Amino acid sequence: MNVLALIPARAGSKGIKLKNIQKINGKPLIAYSIEAAKKSKSVNRIIVSTDSSKIAKIAKSFGAEIPFLRPKKLSSDKSSGIETIVHALDFLKNSESYEPDIVVILQPTSPIRSSKIIDKSILMLKPKKITSVITTMKIKTHPYQSFWKKSGYLKPFIQNNLEYYQRQKLPSLYYPTGSVYSFKISTLRKFGTIYGPNIKPLEIEDDYFNIDIDTPLEFFLAEQILKNQKKFKIT
């Protein structure tokens, strides 16, 4: 099968300026996603979608293809992820008559990602009924124990919240880590979404794999883990 790794990396970033190419443990942040895709046994093409020639140059130096520069209108804070994906796939289909069987979205903000996780997500997609696979973690801050703020006062998020005062009584909920989104091209074409009706979770229990960099603190934590990646057995 043709498996495309698509790495979205726009220039704009509010929390950390030019975040996707900031050096982390000696390498640009985006390099980690490219290298993980290159180590994958299943991925056979790696493309970076960016609006920045600077990011494009760095990504290319680490082995990614840059067949286009993304339009600025698809690179703002208000642009949706699905627009970026559709633009990349339509460009490849129209310019090269190329369409992959499977697409794996690798966000640069998740640099601590094992190539084995990428391969496992692709393997999990093989059954015909599965439309997508996403990495998830079990939620720790549960919404049932949360509050609304109304007129300056806190109101329980759910009326019967006292029934869930014990952690063991809380229903299990899962949150996407942002590390890997794998889907069949047929899912996107049929449902207009990367998810489809049959989403399979790839649960990641090790917290260090679930860091999604958005703040300077998360950047610092990720760098400390990368400096000690042999200890964490990240491959």
Write the DSSP string, 128-182: TT--EEEEEEE-SS-GGG-EEEETTEEEESSTTGGGG-SGGGSPP-EEEEEEEEE
pLDDT band at 228 (very low <50, low <70, confident <90, very high): confident
Instruction: In whole angstroms, give the CA distance from residue 164 to residue 196.
Output: 31
Instruction: In whole angstroms, give the CA distance from residue 209 to residue 218.
Output: 12
Query: What is the CATH number for 206?
Result: 3.90.550.10
Q: Is the residue at 192 inside a domain?
A: yes
**Backbone conformation region of residue 192, classed left if phi is above 0, alpha if psi is from -120 to 50, else beta:** left
Where does residue 47 rank: exposed (0-12), middle (13-18), buried (19+ CB within 10 A)?
buried
Q: Is the residue at 118 inside a domain?
A: yes
For the chain, the domain total comes to 1
pLDDT for 15 beyond 80: no
138-185, pLDDT tens digit by residue? 988 888 888 999 999 999 888 887 777 777 778 889 999 999 999 999
192-221, pLDDT tens digit by residue? 999 999 999 999 988 888 889 988 999 999
Quote the domain boundaries for residue 69.
3-137+174-232
Instruction: In whole angstroms, give the CA distance from residue 7 to residue 30.
Output: 8
Q: Is the residue at 146 inside a domain?
A: no
Q: Is the residue at 144 inside a domain?
A: no
What is the Cα 112 distance to its own chain's centre?
Answer: 11
Instruction: In whole angstroms, give the CA distance from residue 201 to residue 169.
Output: 22
29-75, pLDDT tens digit by residue? 999 999 999 999 999 999 999 999 999 999 999 999 999 999 888 77
Q: Is the residue at 12 inside a domain?
A: yes
Q: Is the residue at 208 inside a domain?
A: yes
Residue 235: the pLDDT is: 60
Q: Is the residue at 112 inside a domain?
A: yes
